[in-house]
Amino acid sequence: MAASHVSSVSLSLNDRLYAGLVALLLGGFLVFGAGLANSSVLHDTAHDTRHSYGFPCH
């Protein structure tokens, strides 16, 4: 749509891939910690969340 007049400030391909991979790693880490990590303390804290999101639990 408004692509033409902002193309001069677009992210470079490398920047975009770098940001995307950082986001994927960080997001995966957070979801793993809250949803799947095999720690009793994490499990008990996130217990209801794990069940609600359907993470395999117990």
C-alpha distances (whole Å) from 41 to each of 16, 37, 52 are: 36, 10, 18
- Taking the complex as a whole, the smallest distance from the CB of residue 37 to another protein amounts, in Å, to 10
Structure tokens at 29: 């880490």
Q: Is 9 in the site for another protein (CB under 8 A)?
A: yes
Q: Is 14 in the site for another protein (CB under 8 A)?
A: no
Site string for another protein, 18-57 (x = CB under 8 A): xxxxxxxxxxxxxxxxxxx-x-xxxxxxxxxxxxxxxxxx
Cβ(30)–Cβ(53) below 8 Å: no
Name the residues that contact another protein, by CB under 8 A: 1-4, 6-7, 9-13, 15-36, 38, 40-58
